[in-house]
């Protein structure tokens, strides 16, 4: 029961973060003096890029690439509820919510690898390297927590480097 409530709170927190970013982008870049703005396709795509830029700044884990213009165009047609060829504030919020649904799954997978798999891998490699001449004595002297932290840090560096070169 506790895990279900934690997951529900996490989902709610994520939704609030996405909505906060969406509102900030909309208000900062698109809101007019009257407060009402409709985004054409070009403005919408710029908005998507700005939202993904904010997500990448604020969320831990791998860099999340924004969708292509083709995907945004298809989704724009699906989310243009009043069929006027433009997206208003609420349509923009729903559009971004739909577009970012998979984002947290990607981030969660990266965090699981970093925070769970890397320390487990560290402990396995520590045991394996303790018998290696020259290296084994150094590894044995390192506390488990220090060794796991060093290896986890190395995994994070490799993840970041991989996303920069991909």
Q: What is the pLDDT of residues 109-128, one digit of tens each?
A: 555 556 666 777 777 777 78
3-state secondary structure of 91: helix
Q: In 3D, which of 127, 161, 126, 160 has the Cα closest to residue 146? A: 126
The residue ranking higher by pLDDT, 31 or 161, is: 31
pLDDT at residue 56 above 90? no
Specify whether the CB–CB gap between 67 and 99 falls below 8 A.
yes
Domains and CATH numbers, the chain: 1-105 (1.10.238), 110-164 (no CATH)
pLDDT on residue 166: 47
For residue 80, report the phi and psi dihedrals to the nearest 5 degrees: -80, 85
pLDDT digits (tens, 9 = 90+) for 136-155: 788 778 888 887 777 777 77
**This model's pTM is above 0.75:** no
d(CA 118, CA 150): 10
pLDDT confidence of residue 41: 93
């Amino acid at each position: 029961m506790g895990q279900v409530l934690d997951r529900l709170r996490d989902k709610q927190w994520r939704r609030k973060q996405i909505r906060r970013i969406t509102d900030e982008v909309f208000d900062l870049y698109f809101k007019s003096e009257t407060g009402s703005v409709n985004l054409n396709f070009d403005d919408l795509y710029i908005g998507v890029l700005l939202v993904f830029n904010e997500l990448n700044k604020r969320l831990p884990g791998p860099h999340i690439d924004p969708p292509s213009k083709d995907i945004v165009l298809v989704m724009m047609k699906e989310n243009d509820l009043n069929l006027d060829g433009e997206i208003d504030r609420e349509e923009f919020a729903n559009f971004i919510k739909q577009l970012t649904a998979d984002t947290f799954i990607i981030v969660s997978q990266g965090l699981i690898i970093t925070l769970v798999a890397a320390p487990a891998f560290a402990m396995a490699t520590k045991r394996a390297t303790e018998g290696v001449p020259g290296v084994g004595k150094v590894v044995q002297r390192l506390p488990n927590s220090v060794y796991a932290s060093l290896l986890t840090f190395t995994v994070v560096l490799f993840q970041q480097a991989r996303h920069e070169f991909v």
